[in-house]
């Protein structure tokens, strides 16, 4: 695999501080956000970001890894590694002394943690904050787009190798497993989610789990999958048929393709997420299958497979350059099957660049 350009992780904490509004410091406890701000990929750590300083604490399991990763990322922080729970509490309490309003991540703190933090920081007022780090993460740096693109390319390549094998009537589980193996073989660190391989009537369930059902000629199979490269996810869906499917299946497929293309065309700087959803949805509604498009049109993709911004009829957000989103309309007909077609795109001043490049052909 080609070498990835280093990211500017060390610069992110100052951008976070610029978003402080009504807080003196933020305690970052969601691990994906700790990773974003420090480069640390372990499973347990906390990061206290104050106006002019930061304190990172983790336990003994990550002694060497944390030191290496934070140094490698160019992060400026008091790095306290190998601490017991009590020592982490004492270190954070000391670092937070003088803090009047301490922000917590409202979507990352459990009830139990919140009760603990009241005891840990008795002098501070704990303030819920929404999407402070997630808001930063929405706009991808070039290095982040490069990683998502690499993950998309691996998925494209893996599907290219395996699609012809559908003619051998594999089970959904076998095909999903081979897809996973092919992506890891090509350098992916993991799948970004368990692949969905849903054939025939199973395709009517948007998030069906691969079963022992054999994929038969002439039926639709929905293949939704992706992988992870250096922490960043890809996400793509193709719906295909081995040989010609029924006339109705073809009509549904062509409608979903048209809907997907309309959604992609609506993506651009300043586009309202709800309008992108509407562009896709209108095509399906006009074709008479509006009630069978039972999910939002897309979602952000990055360190998490589903992140902001959401692209749905209820979304209030607006797209900006550097956002990475999917466009994935679908039609699901119980007892018959389903069609979903999905690409991952990066928003650019000119509109968008599609990162998942696998051809969209109904029949193989």
Which of 47, 191 has the CB closer to Zn ion?
Answer: 191
Query: DSSP secondary-structure letter at 10?
Result: G
CB of 62 to Zn ion, least distance (A): 31
Q: Which stretch binds Zn ion (CB under 5 A): 52-60, 138-146, 217-225, 245-253?
A: 217-225
Which of 230, 235 has the CB closer to Zn ion?
Answer: 235
CB of 294 to Zn ion, least distance (A): 14
CB of 160 to Zn ion, least distance (A): 18
Which of 55, 344 has the CB closer to Zn ion?
Answer: 344
Nearest to 15 by CA among 26, 4, 31: 26
CB of 224 to Zn ion, least distance (A): 4
Task: Quote the tokens at residue 243.
Answer: 């040989």
277 near Zn ion, judged by CB under 5 A: no
Q: How many CB atoms are closer than 10 A to CB 153?
A: 21
Q: Which parts of 58-133 are beta strand (E)?
A: 78-80, 101-105, 125-129
For the stretch 17-48, what's the b/e string if a residue is b when 16 or more beta carbons lie within 10 angstroms of its beta carbon? beebeebbbbbbbbbbbbbbbbbbbeeebbbb
Number of residues that bind Zn ion (CB under 5 A): 5
Q: Which stretch binds Zn ion (CB under 5 A): 25-33, 120-128, 216-224, 272-280?
A: 216-224
Nearest to 127 by CA among 220, 21, 56: 21
Q: Which residues 125-184 are close enough to bind Zn ion by CB under 5 A? A: none
Which of 134, 235 has the CB closer to Zn ion?
Answer: 235
Helix-helix angle 142-162:172-185, to 10 degrees? 130
Task: Quote the tokens at residue 166.
Answer: 């559908």
Which of 180, 235 has the CB closer to Zn ion?
Answer: 235
List 353's β-bridge partners, or say none. 346
Which of 38, 259 has the CB closer to Zn ion?
Answer: 259
CB of 66 to Zn ion, least distance (A): 32
CB of 312 to Zn ion, least distance (A): 12
Window 300-339: contact mask with Zn ion (x via CB under 5 A): --------------------------x-------------
Task: Quote the tokens at residue 188.
Answer: 């992916």
At residue 341's C-alpha, the angle toward residues 351 and 296, to 5°, is: 75
CB of 192 to Zn ion, least distance (A): 9
* CB distance 96 to 118 below 8 Å: no
Window 224-263: contact mask with Zn ion (x via CB under 5 A): x----------x-x--------------------------
Cα separation values, 291 from 125, 180, 247, 284, Å:
47, 33, 20, 9
Which of 37, 233 has the CB closer to Zn ion?
Answer: 233
Which of 141, 304 has the CB closer to Zn ion?
Answer: 304
Site for Zn ion, rule CB under 5 A: 224, 235, 237, 326, 342
């Amino acid at each position: 695999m080609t070498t990835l350009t280093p990211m500017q992780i060390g610069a992110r904490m100052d951008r976070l501080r610029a978003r402080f509004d009504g807080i003196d410091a933020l305690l970052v406890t969601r691990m994906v956000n700790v990773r974003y701000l420090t480069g640390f990929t372990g499973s347990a750590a906390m990061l206290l970001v104050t106006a002019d300083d930061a304190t990172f604490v983790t336990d003994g399991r990550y002694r060497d890894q944390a030191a290496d990763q934070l140094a490698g990322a160019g992060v400026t922080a008091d790095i306290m590694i190998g601490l017991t729970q009590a020592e982490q509490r004492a270190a954070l309490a000391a670092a937070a002394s003088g803090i009047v309003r301490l922000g917590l991540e409202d979507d990352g703190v459990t009830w139990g943690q919140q009760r603990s933090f009241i005891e840990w920081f008795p002098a501070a007022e704990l303030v819920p904050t929404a999407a402070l780090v997630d808001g930063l993460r929405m706009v991808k740096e070039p290095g982040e787009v490069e990683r998502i693109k690499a993950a998309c390319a691996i998925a494209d390549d893996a599907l290219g190798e395996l699609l012809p094998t559908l003619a051998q009537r594999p089970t959904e589980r076998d095909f999903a497993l081979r897809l996973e193996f092919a992506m890891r073989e090509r350098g992916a660190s993991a799948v970004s989610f368990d692949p969905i391989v849903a054939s025939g009537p199973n395709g009517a369930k948007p998030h069906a789990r691969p079963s022992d059902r054999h994929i038969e000629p002439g039926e639709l199979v929905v293949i939704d999958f992706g992988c992870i490269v250096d922490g960043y996810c890809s996400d793509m869906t193709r719906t295909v048929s081995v040989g010609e499917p029924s006339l109705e299946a073809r009509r549904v497929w062509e409608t979903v393709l048209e809907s997907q293309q309309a959604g992609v065309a609506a993506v651009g700087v300043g586009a309202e997420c709800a309008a992108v959803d509407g562009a896709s949805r209108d095509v399906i509604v006009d074709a008479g299958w509006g009630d069978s498009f039972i999910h939002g049109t897309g979602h952000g993709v990055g360190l998490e497979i589903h992140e902001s911004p959401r692209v749905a009829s209820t979304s209030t957000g607006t797209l900006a350059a550097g956002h990475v989103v999917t466009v994935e309309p679908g039609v699901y007909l119980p007892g018959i099957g389903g069609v979903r077609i999905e690409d991952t795109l990066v928003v650019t001043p000119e509109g968008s660049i599609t990162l998942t490049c696998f051809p969209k052909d109904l029949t193989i």
